[in-house]
Amino acid sequence: MTEQIDVLIVGSGPSGISTALHLARLDPTWAGRVVVVDKAVHPREKLCGGGLTHIGQNILANLGLPLEPTNFPVKEVRLLYHDKSYSFYGNPVFRIVRRDEFDHWLVKTAAQLGVTVRQGESVTAITPHDDYVEVVTDRTTFHAKVLVAADGSRSFVRRKLKWDDESRVARLVEVLTPEDPAKLPEFRDAVAVFDFTPMDDHLQGYYWDFPSYVGGQPMMNRGVFDSRAVPDKPKADLKEVLAESMAERGRDLDDYELKGHPIRWWSSDGVFSRPRVLLVGDAAGADPLMGEGISFALGYGEPAAAAIADAFARDDFSFAGYRQRLLAHPLFKQLGIRTRLARYAYLLNYPLVVRLGWSLMRLFLRFTPWKDRNYVPARLPEFRLTDLKSQS
Ligand SMILES: Cc1cc2nc3c(=O)[nH]c(=O)nc-3n(C[C@H](O)[C@H](O)[C@H](O)COP(=O)(O)OP(=O)(O)OC[C@H]3O[C@@H](n4cnc5c(N)ncnc54)[C@H](O)[C@@H]3O)c2cc1C
């Protein structure tokens, strides 16, 4: 059996669901024209620190979505390099979510609006044609007028369409360690730590400590981000960096389950579309400076939805303007700046230069709102989802 549909979104992570939600926000009738398929069944595990900044929170606010899943509000972000440190403060600076809960909530929200989300259905083949894209799953065959690849950094769609470019991939490893919150200042004072000291060992990134609650249990989410923004430089041994950083904090890596996953990062020179096919989220590219991906995944939703609506309105599915649309968007301008910063920061990672950078940042922060513990960077929703439902 072949199912004829307007828009097929592969992947129900934040980028895929945000694309569906933004389409529904443009016009509630879009909800009935979109099908999202995901090989996983929510709540599904997704390896992630779960740090959601004001950027992502504001995108949700603009969609009328107050953040419902439980989260840990971080009041101080401390950036370390050996004995030097500087901090961003806010109420909160960002929130730490658990991705199984967060993504499940987004999926349920889209389903409430009438978007069909088919879970436990894997895409196995893709053939683009002039008038449609044929997408075979383990349950059916779709003929979709538009295909949106929201299937993450190891994107099956990219691979199948021979879109591969492995030059822009960051490496990450992570463990969860059960903790007693009363004994850890990070829990008590709500501090997230980014420790850049391992840059001395070729790491193009940092070690992180994110206090979290997993199924109600206090756990420290500990990991290492290696952007590889400067691919020619020697590679750090991630396991060794993680083991050493944990040992300094009195933890033995061998006692915990280690997991790893990549992040594909953004380049302004990237190719983000082909006729009838769009890339969003990690399949397109995230932030190589800090590894922030959730906010940007949510951020792709607006330009992708606008490009899709425009394609149907003009009956032109070339998506020739999608890249320009991204490049003109303030969020992706910021991503371009972060990419350039990552290339310089991780190229110039000489101890003296990094120490100087730390002193300058500490000075610079005094002139920003991030010095204030009461600063609230995230806005409240402009309208609520119920407004959208009442239109439909
Ligand atoms: C260890 C680690 C820590 C991180 N920490 C943070 C952090 O603290 N803050 C932050 O902002 N970002 C973080 N990130 C990045 C963030 O997780 C990603 O940027 C974000 O998940 C991208 O969302 P997405 O919707 O593009 O893809 P994903 O969330 O990866 O979703 C892709 C979906 O596609 C589905 N899929 C894949 N293949 C198929 C197929 N063939 N058929 C059907 N479905 C398919 C998958 O099941 C999945 O549900 C981290 C990443 C890692 C690896």
Please give the pLDDT value at position 167: 74
Please give the pLDDT value at position 384: 59
Question: Selecting from 3.50.50.60, 1.10.10.10, 3.30.200.20, 3.90.45.10, what CATH number does the domain 2-50+98-167+265-347 have?
Answer: 3.50.50.60
Tell me the one-letter amino acid at 280. Answer: V
Ligand 1 pocket member 94 (CB < 6 A): no
Ligand 1 pocket member 49 (CB < 6 A): yes
Ligand 1 pocket member 291 (CB < 6 A): yes
Ligand 1 pocket member 122 (CB < 6 A): yes
Ligand 1 pocket member 150 (CB < 6 A): yes
Please give the pLDDT value at position 385: 57
Q: Kindly list the domain boundaries of the chain, sorted by start residue.
A: 2-50+98-167+265-347, 169-264
State the closest ligand 1 atom to the C-alpha of 281, by its place in the atom list counted from 1.
26
Ligand 1 mutation pick, 282, 295, 296, 338, max ligand atoms within 8 A of CB: 282
Q: What spacing in Å lies between the alpha carbon of 26 and ligand 1's midpoint?
A: 25
Closest listed residue to residue 10, CA positions, set 168, 136, 101, 170: 136
Q: What spacing in Å lies between the alpha carbon of 4 and ligand 1's midpoint?
A: 28
pLDDT (tens place) for every residue of the chain, 392 residues total: 799 999 999 999 999 999 999 999 999 999 999 999 999 999 999 999 999 999 999 999 999 999 999 999 999 999 999 999 999 999 999 999 999 999 999 999 999 999 999 999 999 999 999 999 999 999 999 999 999 999 999 999 999 999 977 779 999 999 999 999 999 999 999 999 999 999 999 999 999 999 999 999 999 999 999 999 999 999 999 999 999 999 999 999 999 999 999 999 999 999 999 999 999 999 999 999 999 999 999 999 999 999 999 999 999 999 999 999 999 999 999 999 999 999 999 988 889 999 999 999 999 999 999 999 999 999 877 655 555 555 54
Ligand 1 pocket member 205 (CB < 6 A): no
Whose Cα sits closest to atom 21 in ligand 1?
A: 294
Please give the pLDDT value at position 243: 98
Please give the pLDDT value at position 152: 97
Ligand 1 pocket member 64 (CB < 6 A): no
Q: pTM of the full predicted structure? A: 0.96
Whose Cα sits closest to atom 3 in ligand 1?
A: 48
Class of domain 169-264: alpha beta
Please give the pLDDT value at position 348: 85
Please tell me the distance from the alpha carbon of residue 315 to that of residue 93, in angstroms, as a whole number. Answer: 44
Beta-sheet strand order (sheet of 51-52) = 51-52, 84-97, 71-81, 191-195, 205-214, 217-226, 169-178, 259-264
Whose Cα sits closest to atom 50 in ligand 1?
A: 48
Ligand 1 pocket member 15 (CB < 6 A): yes
Q: What spacing in Å lies between the alpha carbon of 87 and ligand 1's midpoint?
A: 28
Please give the pLDDT value at position 389: 55
Q: What spacing in Å lies between the alpha carbon of 85 and ligand 1's midpoint?
A: 30
State the closest ligand 1 atom to the C-alpha of 121, by its place in the atom list counted from 1.
43
Q: What spacing in Å lies between the alpha carbon of 153 and ligand 1's midpoint?
A: 7
